């Protein structure tokens, strides 16, 4: 087991490097996405009788799109912190003479799962609210006319991830970006639930599953950051 664990050091470190450019401030810039909708801070008010609660005449009074973006992003970053701790424990277990400490692995993974579940709940509310909110057409026009290829090259962004961001924003589908946030959380949770079963059974996790979890986190955070960078650039 020790030999198998140590043999993964290089690959795990390479995966972790992908997440280094992602930080808290980059994720928080995602609240610029609220400008794509009426009622955002761009001065475009919502038309009368929009954002009514289902089956009611009362105007929606819950958290705003901006608040839900920040809430979901905060939970993702908390979850990411714990999953990095989990990866650290997995890696260092290769140096232990007694093998992995499954109790500590369980606790760390459980926290990572908890915060990702909270993020998923926040993103469900976000995409539901976004689907019921009219777009700010001025911002949508800016997104459609944005020079995505030039921006990607100038900022040296990973082409695969940025191309997916561009697919949504170049067509004005901002809600689609939020739907992707929700999809990512489900994908990551499924991977972590599989890891949890192995850890709870006292089985050292399959390294390919560990790689998949780390890659999914890195890709998700880059996707969110790249979308935030576009919104920040057109403000």
Contact 172, 139 (CB under 8 A): no
Mean pLDDT of 22-50: 60
CA-to-CA distance for 226 and 34, rounded, in angstroms?
15
Enumerate the H helices of the chain as residue ranges.
2-6, 9-19, 24-28, 65-92, 102-131, 137-144, 148-155, 159-169, 174-200, 207-234
* Residue 4 binned pLDDT confidence (cut-offs 50, 70, 90): very low
* Residue 111 binned pLDDT confidence (cut-offs 50, 70, 90): very high
The pLDDT assigned to 94 comes to 77
* Residue 12 binned pLDDT confidence (cut-offs 50, 70, 90): very low
Least confident residue range of 10-19, 35-44, 165-174: 10-19
* Residue 35 binned pLDDT confidence (cut-offs 50, 70, 90): confident
Range of the domain at 127: 2-234
The pLDDT assigned to 60 comes to 61
CA-to-CA distance for 10 and 27, rounded, in angstroms?
27
Least confident residue range of 17-21, 108-112, 228-232: 17-21
The pLDDT assigned to 125 comes to 96
More confident residue, 107 or 16: 107
The pLDDT assigned to 213 comes to 96
* Residue 25 binned pLDDT confidence (cut-offs 50, 70, 90): very low
The pLDDT assigned to 93 comes to 82
Mean predicted lDDT score pLDDT of the chain? 83
CA-to-CA distance for 13 and 68, rounded, in angstroms?
32
CA-to-CA distance for 179 and 171, rounded, in angstroms?
15
- pLDDT above 90 for 139: yes
More confident residue, 93 or 144: 144
CA-to-CA distance for 45 and 65, rounded, in angstroms?
14
Rg (CA), the chain: 20
Beta bridge partners of 52: 59
Q: Please state at what angle helix 207-234 crosses helix 174-200, rounded to 10 degrees.
A: 160
For the chain, what is the domain count? Answer: 1
């Amino acid at each position: 087991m020790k030999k198998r664990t140590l043999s993964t050091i290089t690959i795990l470190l390479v995966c972790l490097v992908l997440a280094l450019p992602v930080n808290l401030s980059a994720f928080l810039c995602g609240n610029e996405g609220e400008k794509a909708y009426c009622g955002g801070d761009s001065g475009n008010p919502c038309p009368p009788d929009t954002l009514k609660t289902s089956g009611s005449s009362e105007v929606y009074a819950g958290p705003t799109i901006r608040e839900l973006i920040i809430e979901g992003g905060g939970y993702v970053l908390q979850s990411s912190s714990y999953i990095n701790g989990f990866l650290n424990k997995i890696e260092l277990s290769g140096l232990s003479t007694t093998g992995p400490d499954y109790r500590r692995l369980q606790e760390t993974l459980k926290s990572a799962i908890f915060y990702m579940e909270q993020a998923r709940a926040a993103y469900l509310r976000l995409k539901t609210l976004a689907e019921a909110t009219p777009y700010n057409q001025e911002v949508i026009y800016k997104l459609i006319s944005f020079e995505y290829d030039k921006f990607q090259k100038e900022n040296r962004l990973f082409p695969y991830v940025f191309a997916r961001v561009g697919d949504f924003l170049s067509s004005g589908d901002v809600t689609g970006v939020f739907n992707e946030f929700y999809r990512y959380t489900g994908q990551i949770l499924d991977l972590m639930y599989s890891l949890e079963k192995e850890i709870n059974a006292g089985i050292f996790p399959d390294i390919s599953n560990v790689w998949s979890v780390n890659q999914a986190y890195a890709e998700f955070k880059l996707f969110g950051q790249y979308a935030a960078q576009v919104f920040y650039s057109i403000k």
